[in-house]
Structures are given as structure tokens and as C-alpha cells.
């Protein structure tokens, strides 16, 4: 079976430069973010719910029609931790991720590198060890 784009398999029924949705999004539709902001007091209700969960209290959120009430009104510790994580990530930004690249770099053989490349690597390593030069 071939997946190349040609006239026989009809993977792309539009001609190059032709839109699959020429009239665009219908008027009157709105994106989800705008709807959520409008219906949750600018997101305040959502933050209040997360704070309640983080404190171990089930938030008082209006139930949708047809939904069943929860049998257990206790907040699980895992849910508390997740709420705390979400609040921290969105309130203060995610913490920087650190990568341990020294391990993966030292595992590669250096035999294929030229003498000039090895000299440049050694010189770069020396400069990193010495730190930045300060010029008065």
C-alpha cells in the first residue's frame, strides 16, 4: 500500500493553493479560551477551585445537568499535589529543566574527530573552566 500523494489515492483532494475551508470559521463562533474566561469570571472560579483542592476541600462547583454527584467528597492527596503543581506552574512558571548531557557526550568515541576539531574542543573546555574574562 502506498501513501504517496498522487491522483490515484486521493489523500489531498484540493489543488495546490486551494483551501479546504475557503469561507473560514463561521461567524458567531468563539474559541474555547474566550468561552471559559467569560463563564468563569475571567478564570477566577477555576483558580478558586484549584486552591480549594490544594487545601483538601472539595470545591463548590455547579454541577452540569445530567451529571451525578461524587460519592466521595474527600480530596485525594494525589489530586491535592496535582492542583498545587498546576497553581505553581501557571502562577510562577515551570521550573527550568536540567539535562545531564555529560553522560551521553562522554559515551561517544572521539576517534572519528579530526585533530583540529579535538584541539578546538580542548580549547573550549579550558575557556569554560577559566570562566569569562573581565576586561577593565
Query: Quick one: pLDDT at residue 93?
Result: 85
Give, for 104, the enclosing helix (H) or strand (E).
helix 101-106
Q: What angle do CA 56, 61, 63 make, to 5 degrees?
A: 130
Rounded-to-integer distance, Cα 74 and Cα 29, Å: 38
The full DSSP string for 65-95 is TTPPPPS--PPPHHHHHHHHHHHHHHHH-PP
Model pLDDT for residues 16-70, shown as the tens digit of each residue:
777 777 777 777 677 888 888 899 999 999 999 999 999 999 887 666 666 665 6
C-alpha–C-alpha distance, residues 47 and 35, integer Å: 16
**Residue-wise pLDDT tens digits, 83-114:** 999 999 888 888 777 766 665 555 566 777 88
Amino acid at each position: 500500500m502506498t501513501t504517496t500523494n498522487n491522483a490515484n489515492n486521493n489523500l489531498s483532494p484540493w489543488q495546490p493553493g486551494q483551501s479546504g475551508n475557503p469561507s473560514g470559521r463561521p461567524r458567531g463562533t468563539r474559541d474555547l479560551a474566550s468561552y471559559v474566561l467569560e463563564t468563569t469570571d475571567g478564570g477566577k472560579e477555576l483558580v478558586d477551585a484549584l486552591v480549594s483542592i490544594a487545601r483538601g476541600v472539595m470545591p463548590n462547583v455547579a454541577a452540569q445537568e445530567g451529571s451525578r454527584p461524587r460519592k466521595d467528597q474527600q480530596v485525594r492527596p494525589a489530586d491535592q499535589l496535582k492542583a498545587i503543581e498546576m497553581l505553581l506552574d501557571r502562577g510562577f512558571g515551570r521550573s527550568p529543566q536540567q539535562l545531564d548531557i555529560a553522560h551521553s557526550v562522554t559515551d561517544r568515541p572521539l576517534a572519528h574527530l579530526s585533530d583540529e576539531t579535538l584541539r578546538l574542543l580542548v580549547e573550549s573546555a579550558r575557556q569554560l573552566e577559566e570562566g569569562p574574562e573581565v576586561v577593565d
